[in-house]
Amino acid sequence: MICTVYTHKVGVDKIVEVLKKSISNVSVNTTENSSIIVAETKGGLFGKDSKLLINYRERLQPDYQIHATEDCPLNENLKGLYGYINSLPTNNDKVKGLFLAKVQTLNAEFSIQQEGSIKNLKEIILELAQELDAVLFVQPDAPISKSNGQHFLDKNLDLIIDGEGNCEIEDLVVNIDTKYYDKPIHNVTEDQKLRKEQNDAFIASKNIKVNKNLPFVESEESVEIRSAKEIAERVTILAITNFVAFNSMSGADALAYINEHNLLSLVTPAEMDFLQDPTEDKKSQETWKCECIWVLFWALNKVNNIGFPNTLADLNNIPSEEYPVGKNKNPWDFINGQTTVRSTTEILNANDLYYRLDWACVDARINGVQLEEVHPGVVYERHYALNWLINYNNAQWDNVTCDT
């Protein structure tokens, strides 16, 4: 495979149109939400036939946010793509932020494979990319490669980012079809309207940009908040990994502690990867989970107020006797002892607020603006924990997204 092309635009007509400029024999076999396109050239009397094989698919419900479509294979793939890109190092934070924003707008993908040798292949791919305002995931040995490993190119076939964080562009345009903003809103409840109105006013009072077009978060009648036991279990594992992140415990000791107390089933795949190989880079990333721990303690009524996200959470403000793990402690005493969770109203109010603050952080990053009023990292991690609390997209901990 040469590359996978991702685009906001749907349909195969433009792909076929571009191919027919260089290859006369183009056929399309279409099924629901997917197509196979074959562009074939004859080799003549002494030459070999050559083919371009394109496997196309699109989201079941095209939109401008990843979360908008559920139970869709491409949508799930885009969530994974977002997480992968987010994990990459970068030497250009602005472009990475723009790229993450662009991933959320993608509605279709198609892979390009070559059999034989297609004349002007690079020019064909360039025209496809430009016509579709696409981004490309490229293999290192492809004719259009710009890196020694798998990497991403923009519509001009310039490097957006690779596995080492290299970037050769200074900007990346994020386009959204306005029709996706104009979809009618049905069955909006009074609690949804009220919290949006109040949070928009609060954010404006802090001199932070407000997006009046952002959708409502879930209503109180439709949301299912995690149980006290689920929250307590999650806090317990986060507390253990946090000890490792801050070098209070080794990864091996943490795993021994987890096994000793029969907690292994509560550890996520990403957490297991961290505990088995807690590199300094992973530790640095994991320290941010203090903000998630803080939010979950708030949900369990162990913290009175989340506070405004202009400063980092201080876990020292949680009394040691309330903490789930420690010397001579059985974490199951903490887990089984939790029976109450904050009201649905309080949790949704917080979720709605951090959703809107996270949008402001992303908007500032995309536009190269330094947001002084809040700490974007704090906002993101708290939004992450709040999305998990409300079962956003029914995602398990490792797969939570913070769509804006």
Mean pLDDT of the chain: 89
The pLDDT of residue 51: 87
Predicted confidence band at 83 (pLDDT cuts at 50, 70, 90)? confident
Decide: 225 and 344 in contact? Cβ < 8 Å: yes
* DSSP 8-class letter at 60: S
Q: For 324-333, what is the mean pLDDT? A: 91
Lowest mean pLDDT among 72-81, 314-323, 382-391: 72-81
Helices and strands counted in the chain (H then E): 13, 8
- For CA atoms 167, 168, 171, 177, the dihedral sign is negative
Predicted confidence band at 181 (pLDDT cuts at 50, 70, 90)? low
Lowest mean pLDDT among 152-161, 179-188, 267-276: 179-188
Burial tier of 36 (Cβ tally within 10 Å: 0-12, 13-18, 19+): middle
Higher-pLDDT residue of 72 and 300 is 300
Q: What angle do CA 339, 401, 251 make, to 5 degrees?
A: 70
**Percentage of the chain lying above the pLDDT 90 cut:** 61
Question: What does 123-164 look like in DSSP terms, one character per residue?
Answer: HHHHHHHHHTT-EEEE-TTSTT--SSS-EEE-TTS-EEEETT
Q: For 374-397, what is the mean pLDDT? A: 94
* Per-residue pLDDT tens over the stretch 86-134: 888 988 888 888 898 899 889 999 999 988 888 889 999 999 999 999 9
Distance CA 90, CA 346 (A): 37
Higher-pLDDT residue of 153 and 71 is 153
pLDDT over threshold 50, residue 69: no
Residues 6+ apart with CB under 8 A from 209: 203, 360, 363, 364
Tell me the pairing of strands 50-58 and 34-41: antiparallel
Q: For 39-60, what is the mean pLDDT? A: 78
Give the N- to C-terminal CA distance of the chain in Å, as an integer: 32
For residue 103, count other CB atoms closer than 10 A to its CB: 21
The amino acid sitting at 92 is N
pLDDT over threshold 90, residue 365: no
Decide: 291 and 313 in contact? Cβ < 8 Å: yes
Distance CA 237, CA 253 (A): 13
Q: For 204-226, what is the mean pLDDT? A: 90
- In 3D, which of 217, 224, 194, 226 has the Cα closest to residue 357? 217
The pLDDT of residue 68: 46
pLDDT over threshold 60, residue 192: yes
Decide: 6 and 134 in contact? Cβ < 8 Å: yes
Higher-pLDDT residue of 100 and 182 is 100
pLDDT over threshold 60, residue 46: no
Token output for 36: 């196979």
pLDDT over threshold 80, residue 358: yes
Lowest mean pLDDT among 21-25, 261-265, 274-278: 21-25
Predicted confidence band at 258 (pLDDT cuts at 50, 70, 90)? very high
Task: Give the C-alpha distances (Å, rounded to integers) separating 377 from 159, 357, 362, 381.
Answer: 26, 11, 11, 6
Distance CA 380, CA 359 (A): 10
Token output for 377: 């990292």
Decide: 49 and 56 in contact? Cβ < 8 Å: no
Question: What does 71-134 look like in DSSP terms, one character per residue?
Answer: S-HHHHHHHHHHHHHHHS--S-HHHHHHHHHHHTT--EEEEEEEES--TTHHHHHHHHHHHTT-
pLDDT over threshold 60, residue 84: yes
* Per-residue pLDDT tens over the stretch 300-310: 999 999 999 99
pLDDT over threshold 80, residue 67: no
Distance CA 68, CA 83 (A): 17
Q: What angle do CA 145, 23, 159 make, to 5 degrees?
A: 15
Entry pTM: 0.62
